[in-house]
Structure 1
Amino acid sequence: MDIEAVPGAVPAAGPAGGERAVPVEWTVVGSPVGPLLLAATGRGLVRVGFHADAARRERMLDRLAERFGARPVERVSGALAEAVRRFDRYFAGDPAALDPPLDWSLTSGFNRRVLRELASGVPYGTVVGYGELARRVGQPGAAQAVGAAMGSNPLPVVVPCHRVVESGGGLGGFGGGPEAKRRLLELEGVLPAPLF
């Protein structure tokens, strides 16, 4: 797919392989789990980042510029506008809301297989164990590799790594932190909301 340059995009180092720069838009949205950076290409949402304070946001934007060959532009239109609307509905409690078009270009190989299975096979309000997810992608002994795939997920919340838990009942790790994981699982009705 050939994507035309977005007016105002600042060129950066070109993408690997001499490909044309891919325009990326970004914004920060408030949420019950803190500020989230959302970034999208013309193909769809490409990055969700937790704790999007100024310093962390700049690091995420620098990495996106390296990968896509142009500095991301702070603007909300097209695929990003749709993603923002869907995040608002999801955090308002709409279980069907969070399925925007996705750009999977920040993941590949085993990680992409795991994340695609997670996105399609673990619906809202359910959880899955690391070992079970490994089995589903044909690698039954790869529970630790599944954990690594969760840690490198460029699309958390949308590709719901918060729904992957330890087989013994523990929450397991989460890039947004344990409190964010707990809040997302509470929102989806998997965990009871705290009394205080």
Structure 2
Amino acid sequence: MTIKRETLAAASSRFALGECSLGAILIAASAQGVCAILIGDDPDRLARDLQDRFPRAALIGGDAGFERIVATVVGFVEAPAFGLDLPLDIRGTAFQQRVWQALREIPAGQTASYAEIARRIDAPKAARAVAGACAANALAVAIPCHRAVRNDGQLSGYRWGVERKRALLDREAGR
């Protein structure tokens, strides 16, 4: 896994839009790895989100080689038990990086509260900031923010919708 903290500057990024069982999906990759997996209802909105995230990048449509990456990511969304064996280009602040690493350590099918995640990264009063890091995540499913729940175990906000969060958790639990 490649970790980058700076923004994608004048480099190019390949991307493709597609469909999966959760709706529209956009996958983008830099030279370092997959840098965005966005899920939603509106493909145009996903493309705008990508442009907003990487305003100085030259966005290039995918080619045949990139289509294999797209198929791998879509396959992971559909069957997360198989894992995602692709390099990731994870970009965020030092705090976000810590949160995202803690999320990746939660086993598939399990959850942790925002407060518990804050304690795991030695920031016990930062539960709201943990939620903010989840909201800033550009790598849906690969960084499993869907595993973060309220203190009472109930599902709450998820950037790509609570129903998608529920579907992802059900898939991971084998339901």
TM range (shorter): 0.7 to 0.9
Higher strand share goes to which structure? 2
Quote the residue 1:137 is aligned against: 121
Shift of 1:35: 0.9
Q: For 1:87, which of 69, 73, 81 is the aligned residue?
A: 73
SS at match of 1:50: strand
SS at match of 1:28: strand
Quote the residue 2:3 is aligned against: none
Q: For 2:46, which of 29, 34, 57 is the aligned residue?
A: 57
Structure 1 residues 100, 123: closer, same or farther in 2, change over 3 A? farther
Shift of 1:127: 1.0
Q: For 1:118, which of 103, 120, 133 is the aligned residue?
A: 103
Q: Distance in 2 between matches of 1:93 and 1:65?
A: 29
Structure 1 residues 89, 108: closer, same or farther in 2, change over 3 A? same
Deviations 1:95-142 (A, max 9, x none): 13224211012x1121121112212x1121111111111011110111
Shift of 1:70: 3.0
Shift of 1:34: 0.6
Quote the residue 1:48 is aligned against: 37
Q: Distance in 1 between matches of 2:84 and 2:19?
A: 16
Q: Which structure 1 residue ranges, 5 or more long, are not aligned?
A: 1-14
Q: Distance in 2 between matches of 1:94 and 1:187?
A: 7
Is the Cα contact below 8 Å between 2:17 and 2:43 reproduced in 1? no
The answer as to 2:54 corresponding to 1:70 is: no
**Partner letter of residue 118 of structure 1?**
L
Q: Distance in 1 between matches of 2:151 and 2:9?
A: 44
Shift of 1:58: 3.5
Q: Which structure 2 residue ranges, 5 or more long, are not aligned?
A: 1-5
TM-score normalised to structure 2 length: 0.85
The answer as to 2:90 corresponding to 1:104 is: yes
Shift of 1:74: 1.0
Structure 1 residues 65, 77: closer, same or farther in 2, change over 3 A? farther
Q: CA RMSD, aligned part only?
A: 2.3
Higher relative contact order (CA 8 A, sep 6+): 2
Is the Cα contact below 8 Å between 1:37 and 1:52 reproduced in 2? no
Q: How many residues are aligned here?
A: 170
Quote the residue 2:24 is aligned against: 35
Quote the residue 1:153 is aligned against: 137
TM-score normalised to structure 1 length: 0.77
Deviations 1:138-166 (A, max 9, x none): 10111111011111111121100001111
Q: Distance in 2 between matches of 1:57 and 1:91?
A: 17
**Partner letter of residue 23 of structure 2?**
G
Q: In terms of Rg, which structure is larger? A: 1
Q: Distance in 1 between matches of 2:147 and 2:125?
A: 20
- Describe how 1:157-196 pairs up with structure 2 within 5 A: 157-189=141-173, 192=175
Structure 1 residues 72, 156: closer, same or farther in 2, change over 3 A? same
Is the Cα contact below 8 Å between 1:64 and 1:71 reproduced in 2? no
Structure 1 residues 167, 38: closer, same or farther in 2, change over 3 A? same
